[in-house]
A = this chain, B = another copy of it.
Amino acid sequence: MRNLVPFVKAMKKPPRADAQRNLDSLLEAAKAVFAESGVDAPVREIASRAGVGIATVYRHFPQRAELIAAVYRREIDACAAAAQALAREHEPFEALTRWLHRFTSLIATKRGLAASLNAQDPAYQAVPAYFREHLEPALQSLLGAAAAAGRVRNDVDAYELLRGIGSLCIPVSEVGPGYTRRMVDLLIDGLRYGARAAP
């Protein structure tokens, strides 16, 4: 039988029951508050909705960005996972555009998420980091496949494209509905301009 000591050492004690309860209601409250007031909602509002003190929020999430990432983790992971399915079911360019549109609505439908993704404030830095870590590989492969098929140019960096679309998802005043979609499509058409089949 293998020596279990290293595993036992690596295991950390489970958190206290009340701490876990608080964490759960915190995530639930944050999700609700983010939905109705945007991700910049005051910490106090999230805390009071969760029925906990302010310090409890900071104890679990020293940086606001970690809370944001935790709330949207599932959706981000699902978006990343969708890339493989799309690649199987569609030809490369179609898969790419469908995924980019999915990514767009992931970001654009959460009020303030796009803005926080692009914020300079160091408290938000973990948000783009989480996005990069999970979504860049997904886009990378779709982009590579479409380029190999000669449907898009091959000189565009996946992460930069991710950030560019993220910027275009920031809501803007005085524009008609569908603005974000039109701009993202324009960027996608830019990908197609000058595409050449691989030699």
Contact = CB atoms under 8 A, between A and B. Distances in A.
Interface string A89-122: 0000000000000000000000000010010100
Interface residues of A, number: 35
Dominant SS among interface residues on chain A: helix
22 contacts: A115-B120, A118-B170, A120-B173, A156-B186, A159-B174, A160-B176, A163-B174, A164-B168, A164-B186, A167-B168, A167-B170, A167-B172, A167-B183, A170-B170, A185-B190, A187-B190, A188-B190, A189-B189, A189-B190, A189-B194, A192-B193, A193-B193
Contact of A175 (B159, B185, B187): B159
A189 B183 CA distance: 12
Contacts of A174: 128, 132, 159, 163
Interface string A63-107: 000000000000000000000000000000000000000000000
A175 B163 contact: yes
